[in-house]
């Protein structure tokens, strides 16, 4: 099982959902980076479970305990390791998962991949709980990216069938806009739509079901010339990390799949100089990236997040001990929608990917 990602910057995640702790080790951080611990805690709180009725009732403080690589308020250059302790586990809720395979969950493939030795409590190492250390790492990387003027922010495009039809004007998008998104549980462009999305989540929860959604992420301030063609393009780097976030089922940059129906004259993002003499593009069909390399304009991509698989509604499945077809109603504490808590996770892995790309070029 591989839990390591990166080249110049490497992150190694560890732990299980119902183990004593989860955590991460970050290697390759420059020495002398001053960390604002309060800003880190703000990001951790955005992802923390048990916030409100739209999330799992499991309550965890998610306070990272930095145990190495940090001294007198600065990184030392040694690997930075943080532990996040699990304090509110209820493993008995998963006693049935030893033999009953949850549809849409990792129980069956993990069983086959690891010969039955996998920790099935709360999905073990496959759990979205393991994204908490990624948010810690992303918060650290974002503070390093601040010196380059790079800002990352996300909004919600849809929850279930509820869609935000408003278009975002990327040419007027500011750092303040992206930071404002972070203040909202469901950041949207259309006034009042967040409550409609919240009702959609509550309705699914009341019916013992769950819903998914689409998140759009923007990157501002990344200069032209970062990234590489082919295997280390910005798209392939970010896609690798985004697909490492549980529940991700799709990603598209710029116009996404719609670009396939455009002629080149429509799809090409025409260049021009703005009033300050800076190179800009008239559109964002290619997502601010061409040839795997940044154009210096905003970068955007959308991530499709599926509905959480563990639901109390009856589903057909198998009993691997009796080899029978059975029905299963999943018990335990689960999110009715991942989207509200996935926003900081997507931003975090984006920050990790961008920092590695910048360090690789340096």
**308 labelled as ligand-binding?**
yes
Model-wide pTM > 0.85: yes
What is the pLDDT at residue 355? 98
DSSP per-residue letters across 4-30: EEESSSEEEEEE-TTSSEEEEEEESPP
| Segment 267-279 mean pLDDT | 96
We report the CATH number of the domain holding residue 243 as 3.60.150.10
| 126 is an annotated ligand-binding site residue | yes
Domain count, the chain: 1
User: Given a cut of 90, is residue 56 above it in pLDDT?
Assistant: no
pLDDT at 91: 54
Question: Does the annotation list 58 as a binding residue?
Answer: no
**DSSP sequence for 82-117:** EEEE-----GGGGGGGGTBPPTTSSHHHHHHHTTT-
Q: H helices then E strands: how many in the chain?
A: 8, 18
Mean pLDDT of 252-279: 97
Burial of 117 (0-12, 13-18, 19+ CB in 10 A): exposed
125 marked as binding residue: yes
Q: What is the mean pLDDT of residues 141-162?
A: 97
pLDDT value at position 270? 98
Question: Is 31 among the annotated ligand-binding positions?
Answer: no
Q: What is the mean pLDDT of the chain?
A: 93
Residue 334's pLDDT is: 80
* Stronger pLDDT, 135 or 48, i.e. the higher one: 135
Residues 13 and 81: their CA atoms lie apart, in Å, by 10
Higher pLDDT, 114 or 44: 44
Q: How confident is the model at residue 57 (pLDDT cuts 50, 70, 90)?
A: low
Is 68 labeled as ligand-binding? no
Burial of 149 by CB count in 10 Å (0-12 exposed, 13-18 middle, 19+ buried)? exposed
- Angstrom distances, CA of residue 359 to CA of 8, 10, 25, 79, 80: 6, 11, 18, 16, 17
Q: How many CB atoms lie within 10 A of CB 359?
A: 16
310 marked among binding-site residues: yes
**Rounded CA separation 330/351 (Å):** 35
pLDDT of residue 331: 77
CB atoms under 10 Å from CB of 274, counted, come to 9
When pLDDT is averaged across residues 203-208 and rounded to a whole number, the result is: 94
pLDDT for residue 159 is more than 80: yes
Tens of pLDDT, residue by residue over 313-339, are: 999 999 999 999 999 888 777 889 999
Q: What domain range includes position 177?
A: 4-361
User: From CA 144, how far away is CA 219, in angstroms rounded?
Assistant: 15
Indicate whether 23 pLDDT > 90: yes
pLDDT at residue 30 in the model: 97
**175 token code pair:** 């750092």
């Amino acid at each position: 099982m591989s839990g390591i990602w990166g080249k110049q910057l490497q992150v190694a995640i560890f732990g299980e959902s119902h183990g004593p702790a989860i955590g991460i080790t970050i290697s390759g951080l420059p020495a002398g980076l001053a960390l604002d611990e309060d800003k880190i805690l703000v990001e951790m709180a955005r992802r923390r479970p048990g916030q409100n009725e739209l999330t799992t009732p499991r309550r965890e403080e998610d306070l990272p305990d930095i145990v190495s690589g940090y001294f007198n308020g600065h990184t030392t250059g040694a690997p930075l390791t943080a532990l996040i302790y699990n304090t509110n586990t209820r493993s008995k809720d998963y006693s049935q998962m030893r033999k009953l395979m949850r549809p849409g969950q990792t129980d069956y493939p993990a069983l086959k991949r690891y010969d039955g030795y996998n920790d099935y409590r709360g999905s073990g190492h496959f759990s979205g709980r393991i994204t908490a250390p990624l948010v810690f790492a992303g918060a650290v990387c974002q503070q390093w990216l601040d010196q380059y003027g790079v800002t990352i922010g996300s909004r919600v495009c849809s929850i279930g069938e509820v869609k935000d039809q408003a278009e975002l004007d990327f040419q007027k998008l500011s750092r303040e806009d992206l930071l404002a998104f972070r203040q909202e549980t469901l950041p949207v462009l259309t006034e009042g739509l967040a409550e409609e999305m919240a009702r959609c989540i509550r309705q699914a929860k009341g019916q013992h079901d769950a819903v998914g959604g689409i998140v759009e992420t923007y990157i501002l301030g990344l200069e032209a010339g970062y990234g590489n063609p082919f295997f280390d393009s910005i798209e392939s780097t970010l896609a690798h990390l985004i697909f490492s976030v549980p529940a991700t089922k799709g990603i598209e940059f710029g116009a996404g799949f719609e670009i396939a129906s455009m002629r080149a004259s429509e799809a090409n993002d025409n260049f021009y100089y703005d009033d300050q003499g800076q190179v800009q593009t008239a559109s964002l069909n290619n997502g601010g990236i061409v040839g795997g390399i940044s154009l210096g304009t905003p970068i955007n991509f959308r991530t499709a997040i599926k509905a959480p698989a563990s639901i109390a509604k009856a589903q057909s499945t198998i009993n691997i001990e009796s080899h029978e077809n059975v029905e299963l109603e999943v018990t335990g504490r689960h999110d009715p929608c991942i989207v509200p808590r996935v926003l900081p996770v997507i931003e975090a892995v984006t920050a990790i990917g961008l920092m590695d790309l910048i360090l690789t070029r340096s």
